[in-house]
Amino acid sequence: MVDLYKEAIHELKRAFLEIGNFVLVMSSSQGLHDLTQIKTTPKNGSRLIKEEDEPLSPMARLFHEPGSNVYIITMMGCKTRINPDVIKQNLVHSLLRHPRFTSLQVVDKPTGSIIWVPTKVNIENHVIVPKLEPNIAFPDKFVEDYISNLSKSPIENSKPLWDLHLLDIKTGNDEGTGVFRFHHSLGDGMSLMTLLLACTRKSSDLDALPTLPVNKDSSYIKFTSSYWSVLEMFWNSFVAVLMFVFTVFFLKDTETPLKGPLGVENRPRRFVHKSVNLADIKAVKNAMDVTLNDVVLGVTQAGLSRYLNRRYSESENANGDHSKENEAIPKNIRLRATFFFNLRPTTRIDAHVETMKRGKISRWGNQIGYVLLPFTIGLKNDPLDYVKEAKAVIDRKKASLEPLYSYFFVHFVLKFFGVKAVGKLNHKVFFNTTLWFTNVPGPQEEVTFYGHEITYIAPSCYGQPNALMIHVMSYMDKLTFVISADEETIPDPQRLCDDLEESLQIIKTSALATESVKNK
């Protein structure tokens, strides 16, 4: 009987993946007469569309729709001064050998579809090195403002949609800052991050690629063999489908100081980050016998609660006392995150190295699903409750088909109703929730980017219809919370970073104290 259940579950998983791939292939032939506004013409005007030019995938086309026109931005701190010439020379022999980074996105007038058209790339048009004053008064603020200004304008579509900004200015512990910017149509966050890491090497061994942590708990979905588990999986999936449908039509999150207005995707963003010790996260994990993701989500829930309590206290002018004992948060707040899952079975840096060597694509594109993740907002008497509640919620999400469902549903709507319908559907779902949340594992050891030792890696996004995005990434012995915030809705994102850090310390102290009592 157990073997039958295992076989049934295996076939169910395979069927969902095959259906998704089938719809993806079938929908790639659909025209995109709606996207002529991103029409691109090569500078020499002589490039003709060839039969072998590949059309954009349905998911890539989706990222040109209003409300989905998203850019991925990745900030990197350098220990040494940046040498732009060295970086340019190396990019020519690495990133510029990847077909997606040397292709224009051109509208084929006869069909209305958008296709990848290979073009000759001038590296000078993609690597921007601004001339900076050597004695800027507030260099950290200058770099933050510079990165924020990037969110105010798109990359010119007369060239491949990526660029790299090199800021040769000392900030804090860094001698320089590099800022990569990619249009999301080039690939999903995991593809782009692993491609970026394929351009790095270990500081301890300049011939070795960095290693990513192996996390057995990182699977986007749990398949088990018991009869009850199968029923639980289908029940959780059914509830998730209902919540998804309700969210499309009428179920909105509570209007809080974190929820942005309609059209927030067109406003500039502020990017800040805060690094904490990964050892502190692991200490809570071991003390509570949970996963790293459980701890991170618990800390996020606690940090959001602290931040909202302060904002509500300030608005109510509650005698200036913003302490834990004076809770100003309204009851029964509905606050959800669109939590993104990578649907690839493995993440291999060496595969991207081979892609850049051969100049041919393998396992590329946007392969992501998402779930609607509710946060319980409020001040807790026991800080460990934040982690316990987060674990209960994420366990239900893992024991469901929700990530596969969202991936399949997007392709289903795309196939039968077109890219504009999918864009409106996604915009509705995203806008009716409060924030985006995602995490990416980073290298376990220090890496160099073409000879430049990296102190931190901080990826994020802009262009999404939410005022807030929280991205979490591990690197060496640190874990970094990266905040992307609409400046008008969240004017003090650095305070939210501080709240996340303080929440971790409070949860860690409580977890270690509880563990100590148990061991007596």
* 261 and 122 fall within a common domain: no
Tokens of 293: 């993701």
Is 259 part of any domain? yes
Question: Higher confidence at residue 23 or residue 294?
Answer: 294
Contacts for 229 with CB less than 8 Å, ≥ 6 apart: 399
Q: What is the CATH number of the domain that holds 373?
A: 3.30.559.30
Is 248 in the same domain as 109?
A: no
Task: Say if 216 falls within a structural domain.
Answer: no
Do 266 and 194 belong to one domain? no
Backbone angles phi, psi at 128, to 5 degrees: -100, 125
Same domain (yes/no): 320, 378: yes
Asked whether residue 221 is assigned to any structural domain, the reply reads: no
Angstrom CA distances, 297 to 29, 281, 439, 502, stand at 40, 11, 10, 14
DSSP helix, strand, coil percent of the chain (3-state; round to 5): 45, 20, 35
Among 15-19, 290-294, 302-306, the range scoring the smallest mean pLDDT is 15-19
Domain containing 63 equals 2-202
Assess contact for 448 and 203: CB atoms under 8 A. Answer: yes
CA dihedral 253, 256, 258, 262 (to 10 degrees): 60
Q: Which of 196-205, 300-309, 343-352, 387-396 has the lowest mean pLDDT?
A: 343-352
Report if residue 51 sits inside a domain: yes
- pLDDT the model gives residue 462: 95
Q: Is the pLDDT of residue 55 over 70?
A: yes
- In this prediction the pTM is 0.85
66-79 pLDDT per residue, tens: 878 899 999 999 99
Position 362 scores a pLDDT of 60
Shared domain for 184 and 329, answered yes or no, is: no
Residue 167 lies in a domain: yes
In this structure, is residue 455 part of a structural domain? no
Query: Catalytic site residue 126?
Result: no
Mean pLDDT for 29-40 is 36
Highest mean pLDDT (candidates 67-71, 158-162, 229-233, 395-399): 158-162
User: What is the spatial order of strands in the sheet that 269-277 belongs to?
Assistant: 269-277, 478-486, 468-475, 435-440, 335-342, 368-375
Residue at which a domain ends, from 149, 168, 202: 202
Nearest to 218 by CA among 339, 337, 300, 341: 341
9 pLDDT more than 80: no
Are 287 and 249 within one domain?
yes
Q: What is the pLDDT of residues 405-432, one digit of tens each?
A: 888 888 788 788 888 888 888 889 999 9
User: Does 198 share its domain with 231?
Assistant: no
Whether 22 and 89 map to the same domain: the answer is yes
| Residue 471 Cα distances to 208, 221, 466, 497, angstroms | 27, 20, 14, 11
Does the pLDDT of residue 105 top 60, yes or no?
yes
- DSSP output for 86-144: HHHHHHHTTGGGSGGGGEEEEE-TTT--EEEEE----GGGTEE-----TT-S-HHHHHH
> How many domains would you assign to the chain?
2
The answer to whether residues 289 and 163 belong to one domain is: no
pLDDT of residue 464: 93
The more confidently predicted of residues 284 and 367 is 284
- Domain annotation covers residue 397: yes
CATH (domain of 23):
3.30.559.10
Residue of 64, 98, 165, 184 marked active site: 184
Q: Do 6 and 147 reside in the same domain of the chain?
A: yes
- Using only C-alpha atoms, the chain has a radius of gyration, in whole angstroms, of 23
CA 21, CA 27: separation in Å to the nearest integer?
10
- Arithmetic mean of pLDDT, 132-150: 92
Last residue of a domain, one of 202, 237, 257: 202
Structure confidence at residue 225 (pLDDT): 52
311 and 431 inside one domain: yes
Q: Are residues 146 and 17 in the same domain?
A: yes
Q: What's the confidence (pLDDT) of residue 414?
A: 79
Is residue 241 included in any domain, yes or no? yes
